[in-house]
Structure 1
Amino acid sequence: MNNVDHYLYAATRENTRKSYQAAVRHFEVEWGGFLPATANSVARYLADHAELLSANTLRQRLAALGQWHINQGFPDPTKAPIVRNVFRGIRASHPLQEKQAKPLLLAEVEQVAISLSTAAAQAQEMGDRPLSLRLKRNHALLLIGFWRGFRADELTRLAVESISVTPGEGMICYLPHTKGDRQYRGTPFKVPALAKLCPVSAYQDWQNAAQLEEGPVFRAIDRWGHVGERGMHVDSIGPLLRSILSENGVVSSELYSSHSLRRGFANWAISSGWDIKTLMSYVGWKDVQSAARYVDAADPFRNHLLSSVS
């Protein structure tokens, strides 16, 4: 790979690259389409999958096909009027309510955090290092993920050498790039030191127990208590969170995902009096529409309904 190819490769995020490759493979191999594609063939592809795939998935497939053609020097067929009109017709004919993860409430965070902390202390007293490590890691992941409103990929890309802790004040986590950082400027995220449910204390407890000096913060732990060298895969965060919640008494844990931490924090912040501009700046949203997808609308009848219950 020469320097030009190297930088072209680096220009696209790994997750996006993999999803685009899968989308192009689906069009060409599984559906039997030909590349470069015509606008008519792309329109037929959309129509054949209109009842099988969501509008968001179809939009991602179009983006992947369009990017493939641009990269190969061909005209982009996904911009043709027939493709745009077919996609618009699919959205009109098959409207689907957007599925959202259930927000994790602060009371549930507290319940799980206390349970994890207590169990970790007991495991340490009993000399069960593997269990103690897993509990401390999960405790740190839960509290950092909630109080920072991190996405799953951001949690997996946290690195020990990019975190600085100031006792009594908090810590700063630096990420070289995030989903909203299109210019690759890097973003520092301040994590508060709290008197209760403190993410900084949880991080330090996990770091010290696992003896982490550099590399990924969150890693796999084997049955013998060996901490892996590589960071956890982004797709493992959701299942891990559901397992943590289920094991610590949160009902309907299957309704939660890695987005539950972000949604839970956003709803807590708004209910605590944060204005939307402050929340957007803290979490890293660039537009109000992004924030609106995470924050539940207030129920104007809530107080009336509560007061009317005898």
Structure 2
Amino acid sequence: MGELDDYLQAADRETTVRSYAAAIKHFEQDWKGLLPATSDTVARYLVAYASTHKVSTLRQRLAALARWHAEQGFADPTKTPLVRKVLRGIVAKHPSKQKQARPLELDQLQKISEWLQAAQRAARERGDEAALLQLTRNRSIVLFGFWRAFRSDEIVNMRVENVTAIAGKGLTCRLDRSKADRAMEGRTFHCPALSRLCPVDAYLEWIAVSGRLAGPVYCGIDQWGHMSDRPMHPTSLIPLLRKMFHDAGVESAEGYSSHSLRRGFAGWARASGWDIKEMMEYVGWRDMESALRYLDAPTAGLQERFESGL
């Protein structure tokens, strides 16, 4: 039975397991709901948080309840007409626009990279090894995250033993698991070496400074310069990037997140003449809808295009 549980647990991503467990805890302990639940109970649960929770959060809670009932052998109360109608009513009464992270522009990436390089030089001069490690790691994260358009979980799941990097040529990375890899077959990604803002050079510099031979590429580093054996948590990238951007002088740094790197690359690629098919293949988007969420409609020259038709 132990081996069976191990395989069942391996079928789910760690973040999914944690979020579903938190949702069930919220239903039982915070709202005092009883399991197994009825459709009426689930409907009242949705109504209780309709004005304070995002619809996406409510959908996630429903998914967790559906999973619990299926695993325990009970009928799923979340799929009844009553629950579906209540959810539609919440969507209609509390519409919410999906908040998107600001895309990181290329000139901002240049500014951040230059600030990090200056800070690295200063850390070397004063012999601050801890700061040098953090700054070198951070520059590699922001450059690789931008040019490879990785999600936060893909960045932190990189492992040294699965990366091959050659200066002046490129970098190849195999990820055993990622959000987009539903079949859990693993995927191999490539990233070219560039004449400036090079992610390959930044990666090789990080490996040289850190001396990492195996394990997670991007690990936690404490104030004394001790590197963790565990990878950084995906959610830790948002405050890390925002602080980095703020320190580098980027305006409204609080509006950026790890998705800003992905959206920034998508905007740069589109402006550089990439077609959607090329971008989908490089980034790993599964469908056109996923790709278009990262692309802003171009507004440059909009008035001229209108006038030309008049």
- The normalised TM-score by structure 2 is 0.95
Q: Alignment partner of 2:84: what SS?
A: helix
1:223 to partner: Cα distance: 2.4
1:50 to partner: Cα distance: 1.0
Per the alignment, residue 164 of structure 1 pairs with 164
Per the alignment, residue 106 of structure 2 pairs with 106
Per the alignment, residue 20 of structure 1 pairs with 20
Per the alignment, residue 116 of structure 2 pairs with 116
Query: What letter is aligned with 1:153?
Result: D
Q: Alignment partner of 1:194: what SS?
A: coil
Q: Alignment partner of 1:34: what SS?
A: coil
Per the alignment, residue 38 of structure 2 pairs with 38
Query: What letter is aligned with 2:143?
Result: L
Query: What letter is aligned with 2:107?
Result: A
1:292 to partner: Cα distance: 1.5
Per the alignment, residue 184 of structure 1 pairs with 184
CA-to-aligned-CA distance 1:28-77 (integer Å, 9 cap, x gap):
11111111111111111111111111111111111111011111111111
Per the alignment, residue 241 of structure 2 pairs with 241
Q: Alignment partner of 1:12: what SS?
A: coil
Q: Alignment partner of 1:33: what SS?
A: coil
Per the alignment, residue 193 of structure 1 pairs with 193
Q: Alignment partner of 2:99: what SS?
A: coil
Q: Alignment partner of 2:215: what SS?
A: coil
Question: Is 1:217 aligned with 2:217?
Answer: yes
Which stretch shifts more, 256-265 or 121-130? 121-130
Query: What letter is aligned with 2:268?
Result: W
d(CA) in 2 for partners of 1:66, 1:214 = 39
Per the alignment, residue 293 of structure 2 pairs with 293
Per the alignment, residue 133 of structure 2 pairs with 133
Which stretch shifts more, 97-106 or 296-305? 296-305
Verify the 8 A CA contact 2:130 2:224 in the aligned structure 1.
yes
Per the alignment, residue 3 of structure 1 pairs with 3
Query: What letter is aligned with 2:297?
Result: A
Per the alignment, residue 272 of structure 1 pairs with 272
Paired residues, number: 306
d(CA) in 1 for partners of 2:296, 2:271 = 10
Per the alignment, residue 91 of structure 1 pairs with 91
Query: What letter is aligned with 2:32?
Result: G
Unmatched tracts of structure 2, length 5 or more: none
User: Equivalences for 1:140-151 in 2 at 5 Å?
Assistant: 140-151=140-151
d(CA) in 2 for partners of 1:35, 1:101 = 37
1:289 to partner: Cα distance: 1.3
CA-to-aligned-CA distance 1:187-222 (integer Å, 9 cap, x gap):
111111101100000000011101000011112222
d(CA) in 2 for partners of 1:303, 1:219 = 48
Query: What letter is aligned with 1:53?
Result: H
Question: Is 1:202 aligned with 2:202?
Answer: yes
1:228 to partner: Cα distance: 2.0
Unmatched tracts of structure 1, length 5 or more: none
- The normalised TM-score by structure 1 is 0.95
1:121 to partner: Cα distance: 2.3
Query: What letter is aligned with 2:265?
Result: F
State the identity as a percent. Answer: 50
1:300 to partner: Cα distance: 6.2
Question: Is 1:76 aligned with 2:76?
Answer: yes
CA-to-aligned-CA distance 1:257-304 (integer Å, 9 cap, x gap):
111111111111111111111111111110111112111111265463
User: Equivalences for 1:245-264 in 2 at 5 Å?
Assistant: 245-264=245-264
Verify the 8 A CA contact 2:167 2:201 in the aligned structure 1.
no
1:225 to partner: Cα distance: 2.1
1:153 to partner: Cα distance: 1.1
Q: Against the structure 1 CA distance between its residues 208 and 300, is the aligned structure 2 distance closer, same or farther, given a 3 Å change threshold?
A: closer
d(CA) in 2 for partners of 1:127, 1:25 = 48
